[in-house]
Structures are given as structure tokens and as C-alpha cells.
Amino acid sequence: MKKFLLLTLSLITVVLVNAQDKPAPKSPPATVKAELSTGTVVTINYSQPSVKGRTIGKDLEPLPGQVWRTGANKATVFEVSKDVTVDGKPLAAGKYALFTLVDGDYWTVIFSKKWDQFGAFKYKEADDALRITVKSEKAPAFSEQLNITAGKDGVVTLLWGDNKVSFTVK
């Protein structure tokens, strides 16, 4: 009887410990999905880092000249259901890791064939499917968390701190 009671108490303790609320992740996952007029579906899965009083480009990514995973945790996954063009350049249907590289006001947006990876630690330029360069604009409002949007018109926008970076998928 004592063994049964001890076993029961142990199981109850394990269940209660595992049932406790876990804190929200520091960089919560987010998904944006848009269906274009052509029927193409654009899906972006990423984690949203927060600025938290830090300075983007100095003590927070993206850092000048360094490839950034365009989010936090795992590399951001950019997926298109059909062949598309991105700012006029062809990109085949499929999944890609979305990286960025900042040089002043210009951001190079990189679509890497190696989409299933953590961060940008294993990034290799040889795996690039496409690179486009876009000019960053001042965001209409400060974005504490990285926010990516995609519209039915194919415009994908990254809002991060005071930065607004957009490109068009057709």
C-alpha cells in the first residue's frame, strides 16, 4: 500500500510540475500568409525578436556586413506555392531561408535553398537561389518586434525598429 501511495504521489507531482504555465518565448513564432491574385500562396514562418532598448545595427541584428536570419531562432522560412518573380527576378516554387545583409540604406534580401537550419550559422552564398537589393525606408512607426506582412498585391514588408524594407512577389 505504501508503494502504491508513493507511486501515486510521484505521478501527481510530475503531472502538476509539467502542467505549470511556461513563460512566453522571448521571440515568439509568427506566420504570415497571403494568396495572390494568381492563386499563388506566399507563406512566411519566422520568430519575432524584440528591440528592448538596444540599437539595431550596433548591438542588435542586422549588423552591417553580416548575414542575418531575418528573425530569431530558426531561419525564417519563405515559401511560394508556384514559380514567381521577386522584384522582377525569377524564383521557383518551394521553401527558402530568408536572410538579409545590410549595407547602409540598402538591404540585400537573400533566398537560400537551405531553408531548414538554425540561425545563419551554416549560411553559404553557394546555396543562394536569389538575391535582390532594396532600399530601406523610415518606418511609419517604430516596431518593437520584427513584423513581416504580405498582401494580396504581393508586397512583402519587413518592419524592424525604424526600418521598413519591401519587395514584390508576382
Is 14 domain-assigned? no
Is 12 domain-assigned? no
Q: What is the DSSP string of 29-66?
A: EEEEEEE-TTS-EEEEEEE--B-TT--BTTTBSSPTTS
pLDDT attached to residue 12: 46
* High-pLDDT (> 70) share of the chain, %: 88
CA–centroid distance for 66 within its chain: 16
Is 20 domain-assigned? no
pLDDT attached to residue 20: 59
Is 7 domain-assigned? no
Which position has the grid cell 504555465?
A: 21
pLDDT attached to residue 5: 38
Prior bond of 62 cis (ω within 30°): yes
Q: How many CB atoms lie within 10 A of CB 111?
A: 23
Reported as a single tens digit per residue, the pLDDT across 68-81 is 999 999 999 999 99
The boundaries of the domain holding residue 53 are 26-168
Sheet holding 94-103, edge to edge: 29-35, 41-47, 76-80, 94-103, 106-112, 128-135
**In contact, 132 and 167? CB cutoff 8 Å:** yes
Q: Which residues of the chain have pLDDT under 50?
A: 1, 3-17, 19
Is 107 domain-assigned? yes
Instruction: Report how far residue 18's alpha carbon sits from residue 122's, in angstroms, rounded to the nearest whole number.
Output: 34
Is 147 domain-assigned? yes
Is 102 domain-assigned? yes
Run of H or E residues at 146: strand 137-150
Q: Which residues touch 86 (CB under 8 Å, ≥6 apart)? A: 109, 111, 130, 132, 167, 168, 169
Residue ranges of the alpha helices (H) in the chain? 2-19
**In contact, 140 and 161? CB cutoff 8 Å:** no
pLDDT attached to residue 14: 45
pLDDT attached to residue 10: 44
Give how many domains the chain has, as a whole number: 1
pTM of the model: 0.85
